C-alpha cells in the first residue's frame, strides 16, 4: 500500500495550501503513561478540498481534528493554517483563529436550547471583531444558505434533527471560514436525513468551501474527494477517493485472504 502523506495525490495540486502539518505529534500524559495520540503526522490540505478523515476509535482522528480546529496544540511539530504558524499562538489568538477561519459542525449539533435559530447562528459573530455589523442579516443569510430561511425563529426543540444540523452548519459558515470542520456530522441522524446533509455538503463543496470531515462511515466518506485513513496516531493512507476505494477493496480482499 502506498503511504506517502505529502505526495501530490491530493485532488488539486494547483490550489493554495490551507493546512500544513509537519511531523506533528500529540502526547497525552495519563498517570505515568504517555499516550502518543498523534505520532508524526505530516499533511498538506488545499483550498476547496473535500476530505474525509477515517479511522477507528483511538486511531487519533479526533485528536487530529481538534488540532486542525485549533482547539488543541501539538506537542511537537508545526501547524500552519492559511500560512500562519499556530503552534506558538496564545490562547486568545487561537480563539480568534477558530472564530475567523474554522467552522465547527458536531455530531450532537451543540445548539443552545434557550436561543432560537438566528441567535444560535449569531453566536460566532458575538465573538468576531466586527461581528456586530449587520449581524442579524448575516445570520439570516447563512440560514437561507442551508435551506432554513423559513424556520429562523424556531428554537432547537422545535426543529428536527436534520434541521438542527443545518442550523449548526449555518452557524459554522456565518463567519465565512477557511475550513468547515465536521465531526461525524451525520452520526445522530437517520439515513434519509443524512443524505440531505451530505447533499448540502456537496453543494457547499461545489461552491468552493473547503470541507474536512471525520467519520467512520464509508458511505459518508464516499462523498469526499480525498480520504485520509489513520491508525495508531499515524496516517496509513491518503488517497483520492477513486484510488482509495480500490485500495480498500484490495485490502479487504487481502484481509479475507489472510483470514482463510
Partner 1 sequence: MKSLLWMLIALLRFLYQSIHLALAQIWANKTRSFLTMLGIIIGVASVTAVIAALSGLKAKILTQVETFGTNMIWISPRQPERGPMRHANFWELRFKLQHFEGLMDHCPSIARFGKQSSGGRQTVSHRDQSAEGVRVNGSEQACHEIEGRTFMLGRPFSVMDEMQARQVCIIDSKLRDTLRLDRDCINQKILIGHNPFIIVGVFDPKPHSPFGEGDSEDHEISIPFRTNLKLRHEPWIWSIAESASSEASEDALAELRFFFRRTRGIKPGEPDTFKVESLKNALDTFDKISAMVTTVASGIVGISLLVGGVGIMNIMLVSVSERTREIGLRKAVGARRSAILTQFLIESVVLCTLGGLLGIGLAQLLTMGIAKIPNAQLDMSYIPWWAMTIACVFSAVVGVFFGMFPAIKAARLDPIEALRHE
Specify whether the CB–CB gap between 56 and 217 falls below 8 A.
no
Kindly state the smallest distance separating residue 99's Cβ from partner 1, in Å: 2
Count other Cβ atoms within 10 Å, centred on residue 216: 16
- Closest distance between partner 1 and the C-beta of residue 62, in Å? 9
Among positions 85-114, residues that touch partner 1 (CB under 8 A) are: 91-92, 95-96, 98-100, 104, 106, 110, 112, 114
Task: Please give the Cα distance from 145 to 173 (Å, whole number).
Answer: 9
Residue whose CB is less far from partner 1, 95 or 195: 95
Site for partner 1 in 159-188 (CB under 8 A): 171, 175
User: What are the φ and ψ backbone dihedral angles of 118, each rounded to 5 degrees?
Assistant: -60, -50
Contact (Cβ atoms closer than 8 angstroms) between residue 213 and residue 185: yes
Residue 35 engages partner 1 in binding (rule: CB under 8 A): no
Select 30 or 92, whichever has its Cβ closest to partner 1. 92
Among 55, 60, 124, 233, binds partner 1 (CB under 8 A): 124
Contacts (Cβ under 8 Å, ≥6 apart) of 162: 189, 193, 196, 197
Say if CB 55 and CB 61 are below 8 A apart. yes
C-alpha cell at 207: 461552491
How far separated are the first and last CA of the chain, in Å rounded? Answer: 21
Nearer to partner 1, 115 or 222 (CB): 115
User: Which window, 125-133, 138-146, 151-159, 247-255, contacts partner 1 (CB under 8 A)?
Assistant: 125-133
* Contacting residue, 26, 55, 72, 169, with partner 1 by CB under 8 A: 72
Could you list the residues that contact partner 1 (CB under 8 A)? 66, 69, 71-72, 91-92, 95-96, 98-100, 104, 106, 110, 112, 114, 123-124, 126-128, 132, 171, 175
Amino acid at each position: 500500500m502506498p503511504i506517502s502523506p505529502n505526495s501530490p495525490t491530493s485532488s488539486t495540486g494547483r490550489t493554495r495550501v490551507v493546512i500544513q502539518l509537519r511531523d506533528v505529534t500529540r502526547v497525552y500524559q495519563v498517570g505515568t503513561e504517555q499516550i502518543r495520540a498523534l505520532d508524526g503526522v505530516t499533511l498538506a490540505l488545499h483550498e476547496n478540498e473535500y476530505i474525509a478523515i477515517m479511522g477507528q476509535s483511538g486511531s487519533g482522528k479526533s485528536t487530529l481534528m481538534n488540532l486542525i480546529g485549533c482547539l488543541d496544540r501539538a506537542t511537537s511539530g508545526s501547524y500552519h493554517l492559511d500560512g500562519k504558524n499556530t503552534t506558538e499562538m496564545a490562547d486568545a489568538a487561537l480563539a480568534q483563529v477558530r472564530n475567523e477561519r474554522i467552522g465547527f459542525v458536531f455530531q450532537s449539533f451543540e445548539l443552545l436550547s434557550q436561543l432560537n435559530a438566528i441567535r444560535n447562528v449569531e453566536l460566532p459573530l458575538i465573538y468576531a471583531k466586527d461581528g456586530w455589523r449587520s449581524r442579524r442579516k448575516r445570520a439570516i443569510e447563512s440560514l437561507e444558505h442551508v435551506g432554513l430561511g423559513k424556520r429562523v425563529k424556531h428554537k432547537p426543540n422545535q426543529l428536527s434533527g436534520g434541521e438542527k444540523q443545518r442550523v449548526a452548519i449555518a452557524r459554522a459558515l456565518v463567519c465565512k471560514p477557511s475550513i468547515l470542520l465536521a465531526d461525524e456530522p451525520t452520526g445522530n441522524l437517520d439515513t434519509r436525513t443524512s443524505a440531505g446533509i451530505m447533499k448540502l455538503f456537496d453543494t457547499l463543496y461545489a461552491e468552493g468551501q473547503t470541507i474536512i470531515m471525520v467519520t467512520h462511515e464509508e458511505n459518508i466518506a464516499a462523498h469526499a474527494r480525498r480520504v485520509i485513513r489513520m491508525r495508531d496516531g499515524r496516517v496509513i493512507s491518503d488517497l483520492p477517493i477513486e484510488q482509495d476505494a480500490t485500495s480498500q477493496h484490495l485490502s479487504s480482499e487481502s484481509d479475507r485472504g489472510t483470514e482463510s
